[in-house]
Amino acid sequence: MFRATVLTLYPDMFPGPLGTSLAGRALERGAWSLEARNIRDVATDRHRTVDDTPAGGGAGMVLKPDIVAAAIDAAAPESDTRPRLLMSPRGKPLEQARVRELAAGDGALILCGRFEGVDERVIEARGLEEVSIGDYVLSGGELAAMVLIDAVVRLLPGVMGNAESGETESFETGLLEHPHYTRPQEWEGRTIPEILLSGDHGRIAKWRHERAEELTRARRPDLWDAYCATPREKTKP
């Protein structure tokens, strides 16, 4: 079972959106588990201090290495082999390939940063893998952790009702997903492409693949370049 342990200053934010829809139903039936632990619980002073001013000066505060390390050690002893992730804007961008790797494992320990960040020494000492969900800055890592967990949970066995729907989504084949249509056949003068009504599944698959290529080439040149560098037999239907 995939076990997500989240270290945060705001445990009440969880499960949040993860308690609804696919992830929430899977959580209720025990397909995965979620534990949100308050970092302040390991603080030893009467003010439950978790941060201090930056060495060398500057604005903001930094999460203390001794406090973060104690929180990690309490949540995941050395025998716990789950990846240790730190949600950070300077981390490696989260990609679907990494999501699949995490979904195939036992879970993850996820540290949610706050303030100016986390003392570099604990990142090194506890082997934290920094992960980013985009080139922007949030108030903390909690929302980013939810994004990561949601992306992973939906890939767990039995979570999605139709496994095929996951196989054809954006990024799974190296391409953005093709356009979708449904009834009514005509809406505000716009009609469903005739080929999708033909019943010819081979032609439909070819049309969808071509539209996916067009969208990727136009909207994500970086993905298109990577796709073109991949042996075509692996990506074409």
pLDDT tens-place string over residues 185-236 = 999 999 999 999 999 999 999 999 999 999 999 999 999 999 999 876 544 4
Using pLDDT thresholds of 50, 70 and 90, give the confidence band for residue 146: very high
Tokens representing 64 are: 């203390």
Percentage of the chain lying above the pLDDT 70 cut: 94
Phi and psi of 28, rounded to 5°? Answer: -65, -40
The amino acid at residue 85 is L
Q: Which of 92-96, 110-114, 164-168, 177-181 shows the lowest per-residue confidence on average (mean pLDDT)? A: 164-168
Domain contains 140 = yes
Q: How many domains does the chain have?
A: 2
Q: Tell me, yes or no, whether 7 and 61 share the same domain.
A: yes
> From CA 237, how far away is CA 232, in angstroms rounded?
10
Q: Tell me, yes or no, whether 15 and 103 share the same domain.
A: yes
Domain contains 165 = no
Q: Tell me, yes or no, whether 144 and 180 share the same domain.
A: no
pLDDT on residue 172: 83
> From CA 32, how far away is CA 156, in angstroms rounded?
8
Domain contains 159 = no
Q: Position of tokens 């073109």?
A: 228
Q: Tell me, yes or no, whether 136 and 184 share the same domain.
A: no
Q: Tell me, yes or no, whether 130 and 222 share the same domain.
A: no
SS3 33: strand
Domain contains 224 = yes
Using pLDDT thresholds of 50, 70 and 90, give the confidence band for residue 132: very high
Q: Tell me, yes or no, whether 6 and 47 share the same domain.
A: yes
Domain contains 166 = no
- The CATH number linked to 194 is 1.10.1270.20
Q: Tell me, yes or no, whether 9 and 124 share the same domain.
A: yes
Domain contains 65 = yes
Q: Tell me, yes or no, whether 109 and 33 share the same domain.
A: yes
- The CATH number linked to 118 is 3.40.1280.10
Query: Average pLDDT over the chain, rounded to whole?
Result: 94
